[in-house]
């Protein structure tokens, strides 16, 4: 829900955007949220064939659940192997809001550009709370401290708003505050990921990737 601005800009520049998502089965709403993901992506210009939704009981949608890193790799890395993308965007070590699921995904993809040397990997930068809800006011500081930045246009903001509102099952009161004040609705800053050691792709992921590429 926080990367829509970046995805829409990539589409406008002619890039093919693919998304890898879990069903989001928090409160047992996985089926509903899957439909909402597809609707939101369609609004952002991402076709259903480019949305890869997975449902795995060992990866429950919960802000306090620790996801097994190897399991995430077994799911996501074969998709990367199959798609051969030029770049991958994920969360950073804080996951924007400290959400454990987001942090686990960040850890799983930390070394993706070590194994795939042709891929540029980026993480969405988390910012302190005093900046997170300053909306467009954060633009000058973001420009000064970030090497990679995407700023939404007025039309893009409306499209992003529609995409957000399509997640009706998640629209609690604080989501509306997010829409009104969050700088992520207008500004996304990215940091390029560089590997920091050896990376071992699990044998299960390797075998699945080979099967999908045939």
**pLDDT digit string (tens) for 77-119?**
888 888 888 888 999 999 998 889 999 999 888 877 666 667 8
- Is the pLDDT score of 14 beyond 80? no
- The domain that holds 127 is classified in CATH as 3.40.50.10320
Domain that holds residue 40: 4-213
Indicate the pLDDT class of residue 213, thresholds 50, 70 and 90.
very low
**H/E element, 76:** helix 69-83
- Is the pLDDT score of 203 beyond 50? no
- Alpha-carbon distance of 54 to 163, in angstroms, equals 20
pLDDT of amino acid 25 = 65
Strands 19-22 and 51-54: parallel
pLDDT (tens digit per residue) in 151-160: 999 999 999 9
pLDDT of amino acid 116 = 66
pLDDT of amino acid 3 = 54
pLDDT of amino acid 40 = 93
pLDDT of amino acid 197 = 45
Q: What angle do CA 213, 118, 18 make, to 5 degrees?
A: 55
Using an 8 Å Cβ cutoff, are 81 and 209 in contact? yes
Q: What is the rounded average pLDDT of the residues 131-135?
A: 94
Number of domains in the chain: 1
């Amino acid at each position: 829900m926080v990367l829509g601005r970046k995805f829409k800009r990539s589409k406008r520049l002619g890039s093919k955007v693919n998304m890898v998502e879990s069903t989001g089965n928090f409160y047992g709403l996985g089926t509903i949220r899957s439909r909402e993901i597809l609707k939101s992506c369609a609004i952002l210009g991402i076709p259903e064939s480019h949305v890869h939704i997975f449902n795995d009981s060992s990866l429950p949608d919960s802000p306090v659940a620790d996801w097994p890193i190897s399991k995430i790799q077994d799911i996501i890395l074969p998709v990367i192997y199959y798609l051969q993308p030029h770049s991958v965007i994920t969360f950073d070590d804080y996951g924007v809001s400290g959400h454990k699921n987001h942090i686990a995904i960040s850890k799983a993809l930390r070394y993706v550009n070590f194994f795939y040397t042709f891929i540029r990997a980026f993480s969405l930068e988390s910012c302190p709370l005093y900046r997170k809800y300053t909306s467009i006011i954060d633009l000058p500081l973001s420009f000064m401290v970030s090497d990679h930045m995407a700023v939404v246009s007025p039309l893009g903001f409306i499209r992003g708003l529609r995409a957000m509102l399509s997640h009706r099952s998640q629209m609690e009161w604080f989501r509306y505050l997010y829409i009104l004040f969050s700088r992520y609705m207008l500004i996304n800053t990215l940091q390029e990921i560089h590997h920091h050691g050896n990376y071992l792709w699990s044998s299960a992921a390797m075998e699945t990737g080979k099967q999908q590429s045939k």
